[in-house]
């Protein structure tokens, strides 16, 4: 590895295992060839990827900038994939808790004191539950669509960056 230092740039990445193939492909567009791939010493879901690239390449500045943009977009994409529908999940769980609370209160009222008040509570709880059961899937769908759209846009932007990188890199064997 030491002799490589003077002619080649070395880049080491910690990559989520499910993203390894994708990352290798993306980095290839920037002239990075994978030279080592090992499991991470500390985390089971990570892999250490070592890439090498000729040190002197055409348009290195712009390639570096684009690469950093790509890294940022890849990470944003991963973040979005992890949190697919936070709003509907939050609404669903909080309303679910409210429904549960209303029904329990209702049952307590029915068994201990007022049958009418208890029935009203249970009715309201069930009504909200039915309403939420109808609305939440729709909300989830809308949210997921928006998320998927964002992810698709990011994918498109990454593809665009990669295309630009390939263009900038040109023929790697070409003399600078």
Strands 46-54 and 33-39: antiparallel
Query: What does 27-88 look like in DSSP terms, one character per residue?
Result: HHTTT-EEEEEEE-SS-TTEEEEEEEEESS-TTHHHHHHHHHHHHHHHHHHHHHHHSS-HHH
CA dist 174 → 36, 49, 86 (Å): 26, 27, 49
When asked if residue 154 is in the footprint of another protein (CB under 8 A), the reply is: no
Which residues within the stretch 44-63 sit at the binding site for another protein (CB under 8 A)?
A: 44-46, 48, 56, 60-61
CB half-sphere exposure, 77, CA atoms < 13 A:
20
Smaller CB distance to another protein: residue 120 or 151? Answer: 151
Residues whose CB is less than 8 angstroms from the CB of residue 98 and which lie 6 or more positions away in sequence, other chains included: 125, 128
The only residue of 21, 25, 64, 94 in contact with another protein, by rule CB under 8 A? 64
H or E stretch at 10? strand 8-16
Q: Is position 38 an interface residue for another protein (rule: CB under 8 A)?
A: no
Q: Which residue's CB is nearer to another protein, number 41 or number 175? A: 41
Cβ proximity to another protein: between 44 and 111 the closer is 44
Of the candidate spans 4-12, 30-38, 116-124, 139-147, the one that interacts with another protein by CB under 8 A turns out to be: 4-12
| Phi, psi for residue 32 in degrees, rounded to 5 | -85, 125
Contact pick of 39, 94, 113, 127 for another protein (by CB under 8 A): 39
Q: Does 41 bind another protein (CB under 8 A)?
A: yes
Among 72, 97, 134, 150, binds another protein (CB under 8 A): 72
Q: Tell me: does residue 65 bind another protein (CB under 8 A).
A: yes
What's the closest the beta carbon of residue 121 comes to another protein, in angstroms? 40
Count the alpha carbons within 13 Å of 121 in the hemisphere toward its beta carbon: 19
The contact set with another protein (CB under 8 A) reads 5-6, 9-16, 19, 22-23, 39-46, 48, 56, 60-61, 64-65, 68-69, 71-72, 74-75, 77-79, 82-83
């Amino acid at each position: 590895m030491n002799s490589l230092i003077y002619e080649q740039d070395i880049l080491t990445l910690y990559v989520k295992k499910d993203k390894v193939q994708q990352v290798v492909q993306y980095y290839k567009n920037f002239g990075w060839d994978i030279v080592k791939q090992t499991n991470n010493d500390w985390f089971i879901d990570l892999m250490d990827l070592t890439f090498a690239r000729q040190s002197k390449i055409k348009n290195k500045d712009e390639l570096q900038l684009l690469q950093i943009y790509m890294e940022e977009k890849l990470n944003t994409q991963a973040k979005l994939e992890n949190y697919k529908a936070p709003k509907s999940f939050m609404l669903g769980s909080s309303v679910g808790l409210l429904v549960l609370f209303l029904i329990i209160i209702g049952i307590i009222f029915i068994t201990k004191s007022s049958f009418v008040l208890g029935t009203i509570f249970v009715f309201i709880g069930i009504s909200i539950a039915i309403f939420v059961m109808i609305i939440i899937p729709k909300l989830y769908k809308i949210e997921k669509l928006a998320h998927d759209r964002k992810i698709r846009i990011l994918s498109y932007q990454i593809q665009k960056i990669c295309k630009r990188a390939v263009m900038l890199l040109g023929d790697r064997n070409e003399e600078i």
